[in-house]
Structure 1
């Protein structure tokens, strides 16, 4: 009987110390949740690249811009859909509205307000402290000497995303 009492006592102490060990450990934690809502990024075209009337074989130039608006001082990645820069210039065809087989190339570059060029090696800009930035497009085109007369159209689609 004495042995049973000692054994029960030891078993009880062992159980008590086991439950104390498991409850004295850190078995829960709290994780805080935070979020910051930022301004949506918008891109606006400030007008077409209008070359006006061109003569075949004669270079023409045009200028326009895009305006970015968003979070102050934010880093933004700039891309032109379907276009890769050849050094500092992009190229895109414009096509006759009456004959889809007739087209010629427009070459353009894109710079920020400080004159820094957007190209393959530099696709990033920083918005100004007011959350805005202008990207300037300077373009040139030289229709072929035998270019068919008519109206020619095309478009440039610029994308901007927060980085």
Structure 2
């Protein structure tokens, strides 16, 4: 009886052990440099007169990251290549009073932006501020934010 039981267990075990399958899945990763954005200085128009126009030149955002990578770039949540960009300046004491800074002579690379072989991309622009004659006297401020992400 023990012999029959042993033969049964050996047969049963060998039937199920021969019905196995195995396959390896390779897992790979490539580590790349993170994105970093810097600029060449804040824009300060200083004291300006009602009814005047003021311009600034040679402003640059520089992006650093992995060479030759495609990136999406936005300025204040708008694609840099989609349309003319303007930055609202809000009056310090009266939020309903604004001035508008227009970006001029912007670098435009079409819809595709790519870091160069050194892993850099430079976005350059000039600005223009037209102050209406009836602009509320006081301090105005705004922000220009560049956001970059890998495609």
What range describes the TM-score normalised by the shorter chain of this pair? 0.7 to 0.9
**Counterparts of 2:15 and 2:45, CA distance in 1:** 84
- TM-score, normalised with respect to structure 2: 0.75
Shift of 1:150: 2.5
Aligned to 2:76: 81
Is 1:40 the counterpart of 2:34? The answer is yes
Number of residue pairs matched?
Answer: 140
**Counterparts of 1:38 and 1:110, CA distance in 2:** 32
Shift of 1:107: 1.6
Is 1:91 the counterpart of 2:86? The answer is yes
> Using a 3 Å threshold, how does the CA distance of structure 1 residues 87 and 134 change in structure 2: closer, same or farther?
closer
Aligned to 2:128: 140
> Using a 3 Å threshold, how does the CA distance of structure 1 residues 51 and 95 change in structure 2: closer, same or farther?
same
Structure 2: 5+ residue runs without aligned partners? 1-10
- TM-score, normalised with respect to structure 1: 0.70
Is 2:81–2:109's contact at 8 Å kept on the other side of the alignment?
Answer: no
Structure 1: 5+ residue runs without aligned partners? 1-14
Structure 2 counterparts to residues 94-109 of structure 1, below 5 A: 94-109=89-104
Shift of 1:88: 3.4
**Counterparts of 1:162 and 1:108, CA distance in 2:** 24
SS in 2 for 1:44: strand
**Counterparts of 1:130 and 1:78, CA distance in 2:** 18
Structure 2 counterparts to residues 9-158 of structure 1, below 5 A: 19=15, 23=18, 27-63=21-57, 64-83=59-78, 88-109=83-104, 111=106, 115-116=107-108, 122=111, 124-158=112-146
